[in-house]
Structure 1
Amino acid sequence: MSSYWFAGRTAILATMHRKEAAIAPLLTSAFALEIVVPDGFDSDQFGTFTRDIKRPADQLATARLKAMHALEHLGAALGTELAIASEGSFGPHPLMPYVPLNRELVLLVDRRHGLEIAGHAATPDTNYSHQQVDSLEAALKFAQSAGFPSHGLVVMPAAEGSDPTEIHKGITQEDQFREIVTATLKRHGRAHLETDMRAMMNPTRMKAIALATQDLIRKLQQTCPQCHAPGFDVGDRQPGLPCALCHAPTSLTLAALYRCAQCGFTETVRYPDGQDFADPAHCAYCNP
């Protein structure tokens, strides 16, 4: 049982943006973990959405840096070798033009057992957007479309190169928004507006972080048949699920290769998605 690996342990959650609201209740319920959020932890040193501090690496590597930094500076004091970190990214959806996609990753690092397991979520349910405006009226219209004031906004003179002192984050009051936009327009003739994608300013993003946490829990609960380590999950997928009409191979998954990161044991599972045949709509022969 995976609870054997985690029950009763303390985990440091490396965040300053109140992600514990989405992560802690789920992990505590699943594994009886004690989640500790360190005072004064500065996750902004690993990059900001407003680009005034660049992210040092890709999403996974950056989450790992956060977790290891927390362990190195606080692990001994708290008597733990377990840390959790989260990292999000936003960009265009690969299949739907003009639709933004939110990718979330929640990483667990366990130095006691040499484990590193990440949960993932990808969803188009996001208010991620930005716009340059030259009037207060246009700014208010953008704010309404972005879910303001329940979702925070950012105002700065330009998308790139703005003086950090003129980057205003966490705006959730209309009077404050009007005042900052008016001052920015007066000073620069334009204002760049963005949705504030920090977790505590974005309830929609919090839901995506919770989804990634649930995926992490699913992986932690899947144990290796050989060594019983958690995280026994799909490492690769083999296409070729036969078409239901002509039986030609399609691009859909025929088999999944499960792999244990601890002992290297692998297992091939056919029809992992519960389908013996593919809909002909996915067949290059029946639906060229």
Structure 2
Amino acid sequence: MSYFLLAVGLCLITRVVSQTPSTYFINPPAAGDELFFAENQAYAVGSTFNVEWVTDEDAYNIFLWQQSLTVQSAAEGSSPIYTKITGSDEEGGFSWTVSSQQFSLVQSNVFFLALSPAGKQDLDGATTSHYFNVTAASESTSSSSSSATSTPSSSAPPTSISVPTTTATVTFAPTPIISPSQTAVSSSSSKSNNATGVGLGVGLGLGIPLLLLLGFTLMPRKYRRKLFATKPPSYANSVDRDNAYTDHAVPSKPYVNELPSTETSLARAQHNQYAAPVELDGWQTRMSRAGQPP
């Protein structure tokens, strides 16, 4: 019974080993379905990435192949990107500088690698990698996104898209260069204008009240009294009492007399004309009347 189990185990191990490929790619990944581009990695021309593989071949070549997008065919590169000769050490990988060789990226940007035993032609007995995209140097991207020409299903044949090329002419107008001196002058002039405006505002705000105060100070006192008087001034205390009229100076009765008429005046004049002459007192008589000796 134990011999039977041992024989069955050996058969299973032999079958598994026989089904395991001896040659396959690690990077790029191993080949998938035919014309399946959904998981393509992208590499720009001139960039580098590590190509890795496993094989038991003693002598072989690795070629770059371009996949056609119009028909189900591929073209081999002009020269291998890696060669191992018999007896040399197995490296299992190298750093490859991406190149499209003689191929045009306009026709197709989908490529794959093929490890072919020495002496084999085309893809006879070759081991291929998964598809990957090669882009121009100006379109430098290193992502695992699919290309614009990729199809999500392996059942649909690839289709090529013709993109018209247009040439645009762009005219650039020279931009004036402002020198530091011009910038400093404009900045200083702006600051001086701002300072002038501020000084003018402060001068007017302080100068006008000062002028009003100075004018009020120089104004005569009587005008200032009139300016701030709220009622007419009283002159009761400013009257000169020496020149004032008292009660005893006022006549007790008004001088009301009738003026003599013209006839009365003429009669008096005629009476005086015909009166007897009277001798006037001399000075001796006046002195004696006064009680003084003549």
TM-score range, shorter chain: under 0.3
Structure with the higher strand share, 1 or 2? 1
TM-score, normalization by structure 1: 0.20
Bigger CA radius of gyration: 2
Q: Which has the higher contact order (CA 8 A, sep 6+)?
A: 2
